[in-house]
Amino acid sequence: MAAPYESVIEANEEYLEHVNYSTSLVARYASSAMTKNFGDVKKFSTWRQLWTWLAMAEKKLGLSISEEQIKEMKANIGGNIDFAHAELEEKRVRHDVMAHVHTFAHICPHAAPIIHLGATSCYVGDNTDLIVMKDAFDIMLPKLARCIHRLSSFAKQHKALACLSYTHLQPAQLSTVGKRACIWTQDLLMDLRNLQRARADLRFRGVKGTTGTQASFLALFDGNEKKVEELDCLVTELAGFKSHFLICGQTYSRKVDVDCVNTLASLGATVHKICTDIRLLANFKELEEPFEKDQIGSSAMPYKRNPMRSERCCSLARHLMTLVHDPLNTAANQWMERTLDDSANRRIAIAEAFLTADALLGTMQNVFEGLVVYPKVIERRIRQELPFMATENIIMAMVKSGGDRQECHEQIRVLSQQAGNRVKQEGEDNDLVERIKQSAYFAPVHAKLELLMDPATFVGRAPAQVDRFLQEEMEPALQPYTSDLEGRSHLTL
């Protein structure tokens, strides 16, 4: 049976690009910078760059490679990759690296004899993966810094705005809106440090040969071990890495992938927690993410303002957190010096982890830049709960006025139960303060009740904690990214 869209395709060429499945990470969520970083042009031009660096280093160390060959390779590194030719070659030889060796050699006929000289497939494959991951961290770090900066500004603005805090999702003591934002920020600062560490820990696989012994290069240099070591160092330096692995099998240790993706998964957990809090606060009507003028919250319920950005973040974060199981299983199942069952898995899992994390940061920045606070709603919610929280303060004030602590406790317990029943059984407002005002027993503190009920006296050191945290922890952490903090985030969809 013909698909319902086939007749449309014949009539409208624009439909062609929408017929086949395309990952939503690229089509809807991740940034252009990150999708290009994991794209084929970046991948295969980096392969060509690595072959050129290898030839340059081998020439410098005395192998018979001409300057003409080097120039030819340099002139064809990017921009003219014949992907159709490479695809045909791969179908013929069933080997992606050799397909691109032949494709590169086709446009570099003079250099063809020395392309990939002494190398194994993982020389280009693994080293490119390491370069791409390093570049991916470089794309993400300024974005994470911007998220932290936006959230910190929000925290500073609302550092003294009293609000209910919650334990067990039940009202606890008062805190401030800014203090809660600092709790979120603190987790993001931990992620910033984790990403910086993961990037700094990346080492180049280097020039190691088929199973990491460098035997092929030792043969090329007639047993000169010093030149083989120099070759490794030269290519590492050309690739922009400070160090390379001294020991590896055919591949770099797949625990590197575990460390990188685990760091991203940890960021996912942070984002999920923050955006879940925002969704809950939106339900309480205390806080909302940005909502655009023409945005529709529900196709059936026009009044709704659903927290779709935060929901998107939670959804993507859930995917990101699960991806760490792929590199864990891959690392655990690498037999001896290497098995190829890592290849297909890594093509998907590593790219998706970075693309997902990138999408999270772009969306989260957008949320942080447009958070809306509703102080009157927060105040009303405080009034519902604060009388119960203030009972201890009222007892202390009564004792200072000469009252008996135990008798006062009993008096206020009875009134609290009555007020609680009014709230829970009758659906009315909390009237404990009015009951206290009407009680002759509490006459000694009637004049002090307004002061005793001031929310600002219940937030402890929260405002001061915000100031100190932002000054001592946030600002130094963002110092390296000062030039990257400008620019607003824009959601494509």
Domain ends where: 418, 436, 452?
A: 452
pLDDT tens-digit series, residues 169-195: 888 889 999 999 999 999 999 999 999
Contact 411, 442 (CB under 8 A): yes
**Coil, helix or strand for 36?**
helix
Provide the number of structural domains found in the chain: 3
Q: Are residues 188 and 270 in the same domain?
A: yes
Q: Write out the two tokens for 392.
A: 């201890």
Q: How far apart are CA 104 and CA 98, in angstroms?
A: 10
Domain-embedded: residue 329:
yes
* 387-423 per-residue burial string, b: 16 or more CB within 10 A, e: under 16: bbbbbebbbebbeeeebeeeebeebbeebbeebeebb
Domain-embedded: residue 285:
yes
Q: What is the DSSP string of 208-238?
A: --SSSS-HHHHHHTTT-HHHHHHHHHHHHHH
Region label for 161, one of left (φ > 0), alpha (ψ between -120 and 50) or beta (otherwise):
beta
| Number of other CB atoms surrounding residue 328 within 10 Å | 16
Q: Are residues 322 and 421 in the same domain?
A: no
pLDDT tens-digit series, residues 236-278: 999 999 999 999 998 999 999 999 999 999 999 999 999 999 9
384 pLDDT more than 90: no
Helices (H), 67-176: 67-74, 83-93, 96-107, 121-157
Q: Are residues 91 and 131 in the same domain?
A: no
C-alpha triplet 451, 454, 457: angle, nearest 5°: 100
168 is a catalytic site residue: yes
Q: Are residues 75 and 189 in the same domain?
A: no
162-167 and 287-288 strand pairing: unpaired
Q: Are residues 363 and 417 in the same domain?
A: no
Q: What is the DSSP string of 362-409?
A: HHHHHHHHT-EE-HHHHHHHHHHHHHHHTHHHHHHHHHHTT--HHHHH
C-alpha triplet 200, 203, 207: angle, nearest 5°: 160
Domain-embedded: residue 131:
yes
Q: Write out the two tokens for 375.
A: 């102080």
Q: How far apart are CA 431 and CA 415, in angstroms?
A: 9
The active-site residue, picked from 64, 168, 299, 490, is: 168
Domain ends where: 61, 89, 114?
A: 114
Question: What pLDDT shows up at residue 302?
Answer: 46
Question: What pLDDT shows up at residue 298?
Answer: 47
**How much is the average pLDDT of 468-486?**
94
**Structural domain containing residue 159:** 121-201+251-292+303-375
In sequence order, the 6+-apart residues with CB closer than 8 A to the CB of 363 are 29, 309, 312, 313, 316, 489, 491
pLDDT band at residue 491 under the 50/70/90 scheme: low
The active-site residue, picked from 298, 315, 325, 446, is: 298
pLDDT tens-digit series, residues 122-160: 999 999 999 999 999 999 999 999 999 999 999 999 999
* Chain center to CA of 447: 53
Domain-embedded: residue 86:
yes
22 pLDDT more than 50: yes
Q: Are residues 92 and 160 in the same domain?
A: no
Q: Are residues 91 and 146 in the same domain?
A: no
Q: How far apart are CA 304 and CA 488, in angstroms?
A: 26
Q: Are residues 181 and 316 in the same domain?
A: yes
Q: Are residues 257 and 402 in the same domain?
A: no
**How much is the average pLDDT of 305-318?**
92
- Work out the percent of the chain whose per-residue pLDDT is above 90: 65
- CATH code, domain carrying 66: 1.10.275.10
pLDDT band at residue 299 under the 50/70/90 scheme: very low
Domain-embedded: residue 322:
yes
Domain-embedded: residue 317:
yes
Q: Is 196 exposed, middle or buried (0-12, 13-18, 19+ CB in 10 A)?
A: middle
- CATH code, domain carrying 285: 1.20.200.10
Question: What pLDDT shows up at residue 292?
Answer: 60
Domain-embedded: residue 264:
yes
pLDDT band at residue 3 under the 50/70/90 scheme: low
Domain-embedded: residue 482:
no
Q: Are residues 79 and 170 in the same domain?
A: no
Specify the length of the chain in residues. Answer: 493
Q: How far apart are CA 448 and CA 344, in angstroms?
A: 71
298 is a catalytic site residue: yes
- CATH code, domain carrying 412: 1.10.40
Q: Are residues 308 and 338 in the same domain?
A: yes
In sequence order, the 6+-apart residues with CB closer than 8 A to the CB of 178 are 154, 155, 156, 157, 158, 159, 160, 161, 462, 463, 466
Domain ends where: 347, 375, 403?
A: 375
Q: Write out the two tokens for 435.
A: 């009951």
Q: Are residues 264 and 163 in the same domain?
A: yes
Contact 86, 131 (CB under 8 A): no
Q: Write out the two tokens for 338.
A: 């290497």
**Coil, helix or strand for 106?**
helix
Question: What pLDDT shows up at residue 9?
Answer: 53
Question: What pLDDT shows up at residue 291?
Answer: 67
**Coil, helix or strand for 287?**
strand
CA neighbor of 133 nearest in space, from 202, 188, 77, 190: 202
On the CB side of 356, CA atoms within 13 Å amount to: 30
pLDDT band at residue 21 under the 50/70/90 scheme: confident
Q: How far apart are CA 100 and CA 443, in angstroms?
A: 90
pLDDT band at residue 493 under the 50/70/90 scheme: low
